[in-house]
Amino acid sequence: MNKSVTNRNSQFLKYIEELSSYEQKDFKEDGSFIINKIENPYFLNETSWNLDIFSSISNFNDEYKRALGKRQAGLKLSFSFKNSNLSTELKYIYYKKIFNYEWALVTTFGHQSTCLRKFTDFINKAYPKVNSLLELDPIRTDIKWINYLQSKGIRTEKLNTNKDTGLSYVTKTQAAGFFNLILKSLITYLDDRIEWEKDKWDMRNLYKDYGIAYNESKANYYIHFSSIKNPNLKEGCKQYIKQRLLSGHNFSTSAAQLYTRYFPGFINLITTLEPDWNDFQELTRNHILQYIEYLNSYTKNFTHKKANPEKYKKEALNCVSKFLRDSQMYEYDFAPKKSVSTLIYPEDKPTEKKKPYDQVD
């Protein structure tokens, strides 16, 4: 048996194992809860999931009521691909999206149910024998999917506005982005590496494996590193964030998200200026001046009424300065040789402009 077949078999065993049960939160009077594993093959065996199944799962009491408020009672998710293996795979994706709280029930049984019906029709016509999404060519399949939607008169592009800059740009609609979304989700769910080795860390896994707390009320559970182009500097950045999270000393997962918002711009600029570098050892004041110039250029188009260019530049320089100082203190191999105080001056950081009196929230 070749390796690809072995991998496929192990993947489907994973689907079957997870779909055969689910975790339920049982709440106590004091508001705390315990998690119990419920052995129930409903999500594995049923080709059509009824929204009402979630009325009996305590995790989803509030969500189920909201769905009822949207008059979605009795709605179903149908997994009717010609190849039953693909149906199982899509069940697995939807199961993970629901029980990881990435999709609310209102969304799942509303828009995502509509997308699933259209995608099922598309696959059954274009790829009736495919066993797994992983067998499809991502680029060609996405083009075909877009063409399919357009042939049905479904809009595939929309106009968005950047909250920082106020500039408009065109993106895919939710329907058009559906194939890429579920494919990337599947790849993420099948990635069994420890969280630190990945380029996108899931805070829920960091809490489960290492007890690192996170804000459960936030919709964004991820810390991203994938946009950092230099692999060595990316690993250095990950090493730094990991150490600070594990130390538990005044550094939260929200702080990690803030730092990784600004690191890519700085690291990618240095990589552009010094393509042969794999560290910051030879970093000079001139590099920092070019970074400040980059920040000014990047923020000059921040036209949105809630945008704050000075705050953005100040936060970026604070994060980069702290990162470089700490790398010297921890004696990382990539740390600059020169003192950070000679690289970044206090006056480099702009003073945030106060809002006019009539614009204060």
- 281-312 confidence digits (pLDDT tens): 999 999 999 999 999 999 988 877 777 899 99
Are 186 and 100 a contacting pair, CB within 8 Å? no
278 and 241 in a common domain: yes
Using CA atoms, how far apart are residues 29 and 25, in angstroms rounded to an integer?
Answer: 13
Number of domains in the chain: 2
- Going from the C-alpha of 75 to that of each of 43, 106, 217, the distances in angstroms are 15, 10, 27
Quick check: 34 pLDDT over 50? yes
207 and 175 in a common domain: no
Where does the pLDDT of residue 357 fall: very low under 50, low under 70, confident under 90, or very high at 90 and above? very low
Beta-ladder partners of 76:
50
* Domain extent for 268: 195-359
Is 308 strand, coil or helix? coil
Are 302 and 161 a contacting pair, CB within 8 Å? no
pLDDT score, position 356:
52
pLDDT score, position 360:
44
Domain boundary among 188, 212, 232: 188
Quick check: 322 pLDDT over 50? yes
8 and 35 in a common domain: yes
Where does the pLDDT of residue 164 fall: very low under 50, low under 70, confident under 90, or very high at 90 and above? low
183 and 211 in a common domain: no
User: 194-208, pLDDT tens digit by residue?
Assistant: 999 999 999 989 998
Residue 249 in tokens: 């000393």
13 and 153 in a common domain: yes
Contacts 24+ apart (CB under 8 A), 326-330: 326/240, 326/244, 327/236, 327/240, 327/280, 330/240, 330/243
The candidate with the shortest Cα–Cα distance to 259, out of 281, 241, 247, 236, is 241
Quick check: 246 pLDDT over 70? yes
Domain boundary among 188, 218, 245: 188
241 and 132 in a common domain: no
132 and 182 in a common domain: yes
Q: Give percent above pLDDT 90 in the chain.
A: 73
Are 15 and 45 a contacting pair, CB within 8 Å? no
- The set of residues, in sequence order, having a beta carbon less than 8 Å from that of 120 and lying 6+ positions away, is 78, 79, 80, 81
147 and 62 in a common domain: yes
User: 13-22, pLDDT tens digit by residue?
Assistant: 999 999 999 9
Residue located via tokens 């991203």: 224
Q: What does 117-165 look like in DSSP terms, one character per residue?
A: HHHHHHHHHH-TT---GGGS-HHHHHHHHHHHHHHTT---EEEEE-TTT
Residue 67 in tokens: 């769905």
318 and 280 in a common domain: yes
Domain boundary among 159, 188, 217: 188
201 and 182 in a common domain: no
254 and 319 in a common domain: yes
- The set of residues, in sequence order, having a beta carbon less than 8 Å from that of 250 and lying 6+ positions away, is none
pLDDT score, position 183:
97
Where does the pLDDT of residue 72 fall: very low under 50, low under 70, confident under 90, or very high at 90 and above? low
Using CA atoms, how far apart are residues 204 and 212, in angstroms rounded to an integer?
Answer: 9
135 and 85 in a common domain: yes
